Chains A and B, each alone.
Chain A
Amino acid sequence: MKNLLGSVALALTIIVTLGTPSAADKLKVGFIYVGPIGDHGWSYQHDQGRLAVEKELGDKVETVFVEKVAYGPDAERAITRLARQNAGLIFTTSFGFMKPTLKVAEKFPKVKFEHATGYKRSKNVASYNARFYEGRYINGQIAAKMSKSGIAGYIASFPIPEVVMGINSFILGAQTINPDFKLKVVWVNSWFDPGKEADAAKVLIGQGADILTQHTDSTAAMQIANEKGVYAFGQASDMIKFGPKAQLTAIINNWAPYYIERTKAVLNGNWKSVASWKGLTAGTVKMAAYTNMPEDVAKMAADTEAKITNGTLHPFAGPIYKQDGTLAVPAGKNIDDGPLLGMNWYVKGVDGQLPK
């Protein structure tokens, strides 16, 4: 009896070990998301990137993901688990995962890590982000053309450089069309609260804004804009379904090209730790169709998009003045990435004070 059990166990072991090599041939790529993939925004777009990797590379890869991972110890646990499950490449897709990623990466030197929107790297941790501000500059120009009241409302999340540079880029774009364009910024202190985003949208419309734009994750503001007959810009993903009459365009986070490129690099053995910050040129930032606007405005938007894409236009080209009137970027120069990534001041023309 004991023998029989022994041989069964042996047989099983053989089957398992025979089964593993083919699985080990595949590169396992792990993804950690901060939100549910059903948020139709930030995490959803990262997951679209994951699906693109699977589609492009077929049986060479196997992808796994963990969604709704909280910052802190939970994140560390989730990343460690993926590393233990023999993932060769792990994408951690939110700012708050920076420290846990670096910590886990130290323990698994052979695993490659990629952290989104952070600023710290190590030998096996690369960082990547997208130049969303390029899209916001185009949005600003469209807003100034389309607005009757000359006031746009901006629903902002937290006063971090990423959000501040978006606000500045938007107003700089708008000022090229209408130097007196006004921007009302409302901070909701949350990335994701559809109710509060809707409230902010209504308040801004009540105060005369006829264009809404946001740096929060839900589709609520777009829906309110559609209801109240004002225009809005989609955020992170194409939100035209929620605002068929309202959406002018949307800034789409398109992680697919980057994810495919980096996965290929690991497969080819030439992966290196880099800081990637790409935008329209590389296709990491994409603009949705220009809708609900006259042809000349759509043409202007497409022209600006083309100029940013081919590098002849930088949204933060000097001269740029801070809100208090001091010169931030001299004429004839573009802002460097360093000050841009640490941006904690409003440009001239933004109303209100930046919360610290």
Chain B
Amino acid sequence: MYAAEAVILTIITASTPLLLAAIGELVTERAGVLNLGVEGMMIMGAVCGFIAAFLSGSAMFGVLAGLSAGVAMSMIFAFLTQTLMTSQMATGLALTLFGLGLSGLIGESFTGQPGVKLAALAMPSLSTIPFLGPVLFGHDILVYLSLGLTAAVAYVLFRTRLGLIIIAVGGNHHSAHALGYNVIRVRYACIAFGGACSGLAGTYLSLAYTSQWIENMSAGRGWIALALVVFATWMPKRVLIGAYLFGTVWIMGLYVQGLGVPIPSQLLSSLPYLVTIAALIIISGNRMITKVNTPACIGQPFSPER
């Protein structure tokens, strides 16, 4: 029983940062913007969240700081790509490099310091139920937030007027503009949402996953999140499945090694990628639906004058 519980808890920890970053990027991409700077925003969220929590002693303050750092980074991207009309691809890549470098610089004196741990939400009586207690009620706020956000994004995108506007802006920005929507403003907002989520994902790494700051600690998770969004064909539900599938295969890979099952570890390390891609390709098998869900204007700049 204990072993199963430990595995499930570890899977949830491994999946949460991916889900957080991916659900934010999904909204950004739905509005027609491809922000390749997820990794950079994430690492800035990690360092700022860590420093704020370390200096104030409050993990919640750290979460807010990480969120703000993500938004601030995304606003640099938004200003460059939406106002100055730079290439989204190049700007996104630059944002990642910038974030990795800057985070190393500002975090330098904080490496090698044990940080503040984001504690589990106190749910007395509930979290003491054997097995179900820790698995369902023993998490920190970001785990619940990641799941809540996924549900909220799914609802807003497909059940509300705001969602229709976002999808319209991403699907055909000229039509959206002609209908009177402010394309640039909608995109700014969606980029900010993506930044906030990436910032939270980073904070999760430095406060909950491991409570410490180390340069480059995101170790490519931003890129995995980006890939998840595409393979999930911009559907929140599939992003959720993809993130948890990735986390599950990732942890099971470590688990079977510990049991001494003779499977090469190199194969186990690559399995999360292979399985997730294969699964998402299979569930996205219907080409019509995939085409409908692909934001047609992704990566294209929009100028209202034209």
Q: CB within 8 Å of B: which residues of A?
A: 35-36, 38-40, 44, 153, 159, 184-190, 192-200, 202-209, 218-220, 223-224, 227, 241-242, 351-353, 355-356
Contact = CB atoms under 8 A, between A and B. Distances in A.
A40 B214 contact: yes
B10 A203 contact: yes
A218 B214 contact: yes
A190 B218 CA distance: 13
B112 A195 contact: no
B210 A220 contact: yes
14 contacts: A38-B108, A184-B259, A189-B266, A192-B216, A193-B219, A194-B217, A198-B209, A199-B10, A202-B10, A207-B255, A207-B259, A218-B214, A220-B212, A353-B260
Contact of A39 (B114, B214, B257): B214
Interface in B1-48: 2-3, 5-7, 9-10, 13-14, 17
Given A40-B112, A189-B269, A241-B112, A203 B215 contact: no
A316 to B, nearest CB: 24
A10 to B, nearest CB: 40
B221 interface: yes
Contacts of B262: 352-353
Chain B contact residues: helix, strand, loop or mixed: helix
Given A38-B215, A159-B265, A184-B259, 19 more contacts: A35-B215, A36-B215, A38-B108, A38-B111, A39-B111, A39-B215, A186-B258, A189-B265, A195-B14, A197-B210, A199-B250, A202-B6, A208-B3, A209-B258, A220-B212, A223-B210, A223-B211, A242-B114, A355-B266
Interface in B257-276: 257-262, 264-266, 268-269
Contact of A204 (B104, B112, B205, B258): B258
A184 B251 CA distance: 15
A27 B10 CA distance: 51
Given A38-B107, A199-B10, A206-B7, A356 B264 contact: yes
A193 B17 CA distance: 14
B212 A223 contact: yes
Nearest to B104: A36
B113 A241 contact: yes
B254 interface: yes
A38 B258 CA distance: 30
B2 A206 contact: yes
A187 B254 CA distance: 7
Given A192-B219, A223-B114, A203 B255 contact: yes
B135 to A, nearest CB: 13
Given A194-B219, A202-B9, A206-B2, A188 B269 contact: yes
A129 B230 CA distance: 45
B12 to A, nearest CB: 11
Contact of A194 (B114, B214, B261, B269): B214
Contacts of A353: 260, 262
B77 to A, nearest CB: 24
Q: How large is the interface on B (under 10, 10 to 19, 20 to 34, 35 or more residues)?
A: 35 or more
Given A186-B257, A199-B254, A224 B265 contact: no
B210 A205 contact: no
The 9 closest A-B pairs by CB, nearest first: A206-B6, A187-B265, A38-B111, A352-B260, A40-B112, A189-B269, A36-B215, A351-B260, A193-B219
Contacts of B6: 202-203, 205-206
B260 A219 contact: no
A343 to B, nearest CB: 17
Interface in B240-296: 250-251, 254-255, 257-262, 264-266, 268-269
Contacts of A352: 257, 260-262
A130 B210 CA distance: 29
A249 B84 CA distance: 56
Contacts of A36: 104, 111, 215-216
Contacts of A242: 114, 212
A351 B259 CA distance: 8
A242 B210 CA distance: 11
Interface in B206-245: 209-212, 214-217, 219, 221
A36 B107 CA distance: 12
Contacts of B117: 227
Given A203-B7, A203-B10, A187 B257 contact: yes
Given A185-B257, A206-B2, A223-B210, A195 B215 contact: no
A185 B111 CA distance: 28
Which of B17, B210, B211, B266: most chain A Cβ within 10 A?
B210
B42 to A, nearest CB: 12
B260 A184 contact: yes
Nearest to A202: B10
Contact of B254 (A40, A44, A159, A203): A203
Contacts of B210: 194-195, 197-198, 218, 220, 223-224
A159 B268 CA distance: 14
A355 B268 CA distance: 11
A203 B209 contact: no
Contacts of A35: 215
B258 A40 contact: no
